A and B are shown apart, each in its own frame.
Chain A
Amino acid sequence: MDILLIFVNIVIFLALAPLFEGVIRKLTAKVHSRQGPPVVQPYYDVLKLLGKENLVTGNLGFKMAPVIALASILTAIALIPLGFRENFLTQYADIITIIYLLTLGGVAILLGGLASRNTYGVIGASREMITMIMVEPVLAMSFIMGAVKTRSLGLDSTMYSTLGSGYSWSLALMLLVFIMALQAFVGRQPFDIAEAEQEIMEGAFIEYSGPNLGLFKLYKMLKQMFYAVLFVTIFMPFLKTGFFIADVAIQLVEVLVVIVLIAVLGSTNPRLRIDQAVKYFAVLIFLSLAAVGLSVYGI
């Protein structure tokens, strides 16, 4: 049963991540007063890309990058306790493992960008790395706050910490910081600086096409949903019923709420420059440090 849950995670994510992406695109179009594509468009996009010819401009690193990116996020998905139910693999991972796995996905994008040998690709890679360095601590600290409370770095106990202890001022502060960093986690406006279509033409992805690009697109959708699930598990655990299917359903509805938030934030904010973003992230890091500090004192 525990082993089966791993596949439940994977299937739910693979099945729904493109749908959530479609919702974002539809909502963004509505904000722009456009018609927008149908919500199932991202499924078509991925399927279409998989069937296209694969243009390769780089070496082995270029070919492996999308595979590693997708694999790293799938591994992270396989480990997390969706619907407050630990699966077979949850016990084998702690928060540091998860953070490193998410980093590995970013590294794969860097590898792809660098290996494409395109100047814009290298610029995109450089920006992606800067963003990663600056937002990873925020992610880490939302985990660490749970770890400090529960005296454990285990994935399940950390992610359930709010469920156990309820809200505190420090958690509220962390929630605020997490929302402020959310767009950067999922690489959307105002923090899609690494891709910046109008400026450096998708940055690290510039030379990618066909199945490689399809894999990257899928990776980004999965990552977006992953962060949304993380958000609802850590910060919105209160509608837990105890029935697995009901819990998963409730979480997915909550994820939809987060997705709407992402879409609204993304479509109403202009992109920042990388130097502006770095300063913004620095503030977030200090705020989340303050939140962790408060939580040590039980505030």
Chain B
Amino acid sequence: MNSDFYGKLLYETDVYGNLLTAMLILLITAVVVPFVSGKRKLAGWLNFILVAIAAVVMLNISYVTVFESSKLSQLVNIGPVGIYFLVDSLSGFFIGIIAFMAIISAFYSINYMEHYPDYKMAGYYVSYPLFILGMIGIVTVDDLSLGFTISWQLMTIASYFLVRFEYKKKENIKSANKYLVLMELAWIFVLAGAFMIKGAAFGDSLHALIMKLGGMASSAQYLIYGLILLGFAFKAGIFPLGQLWLPDAHSIAPSPISALLSGVMIKTGVYGIIRTFFWMVPHSENFHYNGTFWGILIASFGVATLFIGTVQSMKQNDSKRLLAYSSIGQIGYIIFGIGSALYMFNTNSEMLKLLGLVSVVGVIYHILNHSIFKGLLFLSSGSVLYATGTKDLNKLGGLMKLMPISALVAGIASLSISGVPPFSGFASKWTLISTSLLAGGEVLFLVLFGIIALFTSAVTLSCYVKFFGMTYTSAGSEWNAEHEVKEVPVGMLLPKLVLAALCVIQGLLPFFYFKAIIGIFQNSKGSIVHAAFNNMNLNERVTTSMMGVSVNLPGMSAVSSVAVPAVVLIVLIAAILFAWWLKNSAGSKDRITDTWLCGYRSLGDDNRYRNRNVFAALKSVLWWTGGNVKE
């Protein structure tokens, strides 16, 4: 208490002031940079520097709110209008990933945007900072009307112009228009849901909405939550809504924008869902929140999304479409985690409640991991596009020799998203899958969902074996012979290396992230899990140590599940050293030879196994999941 008081006195950070400052810098960027857009390099650098300054301010906000003190909702007057803002730890977390990816993507843009000599850059540099501004708005405003509308429209319209950047291709305009229409539809759904609340006024804070909602009958929740869920589900890309726009929009945008769209923008939909179902819950006499119903509903959609999105991803020939469908699949994991956490937390069993808490920690962890590795994957396929001029996996092949660093980085990202230990996807997927499997002793459908999620992670692996294998290994194709392919410039490698390092760190240090995420829920007031996070002794139950994370269930003495990437990694490295020694133990020498071409004289596109043939038997069995690619 005391230190808290002095802390406030001495170095209380003015979070809301800083937030407005950062937003102002982004606005200035949008106004200033287009004037120099004739000079591409200069505009790129200026955009990067200004965005980075704003992002650093925001990262500071993120740090303060996640690790030091969560803020309460506050009315902020911007000119004549007052908008409620809320920067608690959860918002702080989302601000953090948005700001970080904004820096990475802006830096990558400097070099990347050079390969669009036919397009003017002014529009790009107007839209880029506004897009970031809109996303920051979504995760910080504390209403579902005024501030929400401004942020949503900024985000949607700015990203619309970024998606249709290559406007000279007809089909791009069509996809971008579809994106715009569906996002506006989503906005209407959310707004309609909010205004179904009796007495809801324009500009009401979330707190006021909750009070008004509490005055209504329980039956009202199905329409209200249903509409809001529908709106955010559009944004997050939940099956079947995501399939309508996400693959088209994400694959046609310039790669640094795709990285932002998949890495962070669809997470704003997830943010909306978390805020709605964990925060916008009234406690009153006549309103009974049906958490188990919403939990089952959301978890079911999550499982459908993760399975179908990933299987569709496996069928793609275009590398960016593959990544986009896979984003739907990974969002499915997150949504599934949210749903099962909501369900488990609203049951009466002490054990399930605890597992619900662990699951929601896994959700945030996976959001973080997915931002990093999906951003990295889009930057990787962007690099390939930059270097070779194609993103068609049927044409690509054998780039490992030509682009070794890009290959290494893409390999790390692929392993991460596939959840191979000890890379980052493993830790978060482990959390999500293991909680639902452990809950299986009491709830049958959760164990089935967990098995589907586990099965899907094998399918994810197959997607990325294909993505990596067909691009970097496999046979050097005719394309490489006809085009001069070389490694991308340092300016594009650097951001990728940073992200790759994070993929490794986030996988190796799960205890740090677990602690931080538990802290987020302990600090953010007003959620249904807030009290439980503070009372249920999660720190005792969830052992986080250098070794990893383990969960002890109530009433059982044994450690119930363990993920210890560091130990596994050490054993694996020892085993690799042993295998390497064994291989060389008899002193045999390597000799480089040519591949046997199965009787052909040279390896052309006609006699090599191309991407469209890979997994043909599996694709034909799973034709019913849709997303099939015509030859």
Contact surface of A with B, Cβ cutoff 8 Å: 47, 50-61, 63, 66-68, 70-72, 74-75, 78-79, 89, 91-94, 96-97, 99-101, 103-104, 107, 110-111, 114-120, 122-123, 125-127, 129-130, 132-134, 136-137, 140-141, 144, 147-149, 151-154, 157, 206-207, 210-212, 214-215, 218, 274-275, 277-279, 282, 285, 289, 292-293, 296-297
- Verify B572–A117 contact, CB threshold 8 A: no
Report whether over half of chain A's contact residues are helix, strand or loop; otherwise say mixed: helix
List, sorted by A's number, 17 A–B pairs whose CB atoms are closer than 8 Å. Answer: A54-B589, A56-B590, A56-B591, A56-B592, A61-B400, A75-B568, A78-B575, A93-B564, A97-B564, A120-B598, A122-B469, A132-B458, A144-B437, A151-B553, A152-B556, A279-B621, A285-B455
Given A56-B590, A101-B421, A136-B458, A215–B582 Cβ distance below 8 Å? yes
- Verify A133–B459 contact, CB threshold 8 A: yes
Identify 7 new A-B residue pairs, CB closer than 8 A, beyond the known A117-B398, A152-B561: A92-B547, A104-B421, A114-B473, A117-B603, A130-B615, A154-B560, A292-B440
- Verify A70–B433 contact, CB threshold 8 A: no
Given A141-B451, A293-B444, A67–B589 Cβ distance below 8 Å? no
Chain A, Cβ-Cβ closest to B566: A92
Chain A, Cβ-Cβ closest to B592: A56
In angstroms, Cα B567 to Cα A109, docked, is 24
In angstroms, Cα B616 to Cα A45, docked, is 35
Measured between beta carbons, the chain A residues less than 8 angstroms from B441 are 148-149, 151, 296
Option from B459, B462, B576 in Cβ contact (under 8 Å) with A68: B576
Listed from nearest, the 3 A-B pairs whose CB atoms lie closest are A71-B575, A153-B561, A114-B469
- Verify B421–A100 contact, CB threshold 8 A: yes
Query: Does any Cβ of A come within 8 Å of B401's Cβ?
Result: yes
Measured between beta carbons, the chain A residues less than 8 angstroms from B571 are 75, 78-79, 89
Measured between beta carbons, the chain B residues less than 8 angstroms from A110 are 465, 469
B481 to chain A, nearest CB (A): 14
Measured between beta carbons, the chain B residues less than 8 angstroms from A206 are 596
Chain A, Cβ-Cβ closest to B610: A122
- Verify A118–B458 contact, CB threshold 8 A: no
- Verify A57–B590 contact, CB threshold 8 A: no
Measured between beta carbons, the chain B residues less than 8 angstroms from A56 are 590-593
- Verify A74–B575 contact, CB threshold 8 A: yes
Measured between beta carbons, the chain A residues less than 8 angstroms from B585 are 50
Option from B469, B560, B567 in Cβ contact (under 8 Å) with A151: B560
Measured between beta carbons, the chain A residues less than 8 angstroms from B568 are 75, 92-93, 97, 101
Q: Which of B545-591 contact A (CB under 8 A)?
A: 547-548, 553, 556, 558-564, 567-568, 571-572, 575-576, 578-580, 582-591
Query: Does any Cβ of A come within 8 Å of B609's Cβ?
Result: yes
Measured between beta carbons, the chain B residues less than 8 angstroms from A134 are 618
- Verify B617–A274 contact, CB threshold 8 A: yes
Measured between beta carbons, the chain B residues less than 8 angstroms from A99 are 454
Option from A51, A61, A66, A275 in Cβ contact (under 8 Å) with B586: A51
Option from B437, B588, B590 in Cβ contact (under 8 Å) with A153: B437
In angstroms, Cα B440 to Cα A148, docked, is 6
Given A107-B461, A153-B561, A147–B475 Cβ distance below 8 Å? no
Measured between beta carbons, the chain A residues less than 8 angstroms from B598 are 118-120
Chain A, Cβ-Cβ closest to B608: A119
- Verify B437–A70 contact, CB threshold 8 A: no
In angstroms, Cα B468 to Cα A114, docked, is 10
Measured between beta carbons, the chain A residues less than 8 angstroms from B572 are 71-72, 75, 101
In angstroms, Cα B588 to Cα A179, docked, is 40
Query: Does any Cβ of A come within 8 Å of B331's Cβ?
Result: no
In angstroms, Cα B400 to Cα A296, docked, is 48
B580 to chain A, nearest CB (A): 5
Size of the B side of the interface (Cβ < 8 Å), in residues, is 81
In angstroms, Cα B401 to Cα A36, docked, is 44
What 1/0 mask marks residues of chain B from 433 to 445 whose CB sits below 8 Å from any chain A CB? 1100110110010
A127 to chain B, nearest CB (A): 8
Query: Does any Cβ of A come within 8 Å of B625's Cβ?
Result: no
Chain A, Cβ-Cβ closest to B569: A75
A94 to chain B, nearest CB (A): 5
Option from B440, B465, B591 in Cβ contact (under 8 Å) with A55: B591
In angstroms, Cα B462 to Cα A51, docked, is 34
Query: Does any Cβ of A come within 8 Å of B447's Cβ?
Result: yes
Query: Does any Cβ of A come within 8 Å of B308's Cβ?
Result: no
Given A129-B465, A136-B458, A157–B583 Cβ distance below 8 Å? no
Option from B448, B559, B586 in Cβ contact (under 8 Å) with A293: B448
Given A117-B476, A278-B621, A293-B444, A91–B559 Cβ distance below 8 Å? yes
- Verify A296–B567 contact, CB threshold 8 A: no
Measured between beta carbons, the chain B residues less than 8 angstroms from A149 are 441
Given A133-B458, A278-B618, A144–B447 Cβ distance below 8 Å? yes
What 1/0 mask marks residues of chain B from 603 to 631 whose CB sits below 8 Å from any chain A CB? 10001110001111110110000000000
What 1/0 mask marks residues of chain B from 392 to 403 whose CB sits below 8 Å from any chain A CB? 000000101100
- Verify A122–B461 contact, CB threshold 8 A: no
In angstroms, Cα B582 to Cα A249, docked, is 27
- Verify B583–A103 contact, CB threshold 8 A: no
Query: Does any Cβ of A come within 8 Å of B420's Cβ?
Result: yes
Query: Does any Cβ of A come within 8 Å of B537's Cβ?
Result: no
Given A154-B561, A206-B596, A278-B621, A67–B576 Cβ distance below 8 Å? yes
Query: Does any Cβ of A come within 8 Å of B595's Cβ?
Result: yes
- Verify A117–B475 contact, CB threshold 8 A: yes
Measured between beta carbons, the chain A residues less than 8 angstroms from B447 are 144, 148, 292, 296
Given A94-B562, A97-B563, A154-B560, A137–B434 Cβ distance below 8 Å? no
Measured between beta carbons, the chain A residues less than 8 angstroms from B580 are 67
In angstroms, Cα B333 to Cα A113, docked, is 30
- Verify A94–B451 contact, CB threshold 8 A: no
Chain B, Cβ-Cβ closest to A285: B455
Chain B, Cβ-Cβ closest to A294: B444
In angstroms, Cα B455 to Cα A134, docked, is 8
Chain A, Cβ-Cβ closest to B450: A144
A258 to chain B, nearest CB (A): 24
B2 to chain A, nearest CB (A): 41
Query: Does any Cβ of A come within 8 Å of B419's Cβ?
Result: yes
Measured between beta carbons, the chain A residues less than 8 angstroms from B583 are 50, 66-67, 211-212, 214-215
- Verify B419–A100 contact, CB threshold 8 A: yes
Query: Does any Cβ of A come within 8 Å of B484's Cβ?
Result: no
Option from B419, B437, B584, B595 in Cβ contact (under 8 Å) with A116: B595
Measured between beta carbons, the chain B residues less than 8 angstroms from A293 are 444, 448
- Verify A59–B579 contact, CB threshold 8 A: no
B535 to chain A, nearest CB (A): 22
Measured between beta carbons, the chain A residues less than 8 angstroms from B588 are 50-54, 210-211
- Verify B465–A70 contact, CB threshold 8 A: no
Measured between beta carbons, the chain A residues less than 8 angstroms from B490 are none
A50 to chain B, nearest CB (A): 4
Query: Does any Cβ of A come within 8 Å of B594's Cβ?
Result: yes
In angstroms, Cα B580 to Cα A116, docked, is 19
Q: Which of B12-35 contact A (CB under 8 A)?
A: none
In angstroms, Cα B396 to Cα A114, docked, is 13
Option from A66, A130, A292 in Cβ contact (under 8 Å) with B617: A130
- Verify A137–B563 contact, CB threshold 8 A: no
B526 to chain A, nearest CB (A): 32
B608 to chain A, nearest CB (A): 5
Given A96-B433, A118-B598, A211–B556 Cβ distance below 8 Å? no
Chain A, Cβ-Cβ closest to B440: A148
Measured between beta carbons, the chain B residues less than 8 angstroms from A277 are 617
- Verify A122–B438 contact, CB threshold 8 A: no
A278 to chain B, nearest CB (A): 5
Measured between beta carbons, the chain B residues less than 8 angstroms from A278 are 617-618, 621
- Verify A57–B458 contact, CB threshold 8 A: no
Given A93-B564, A100-B426, A154-B561, A67–B579 Cβ distance below 8 Å? yes
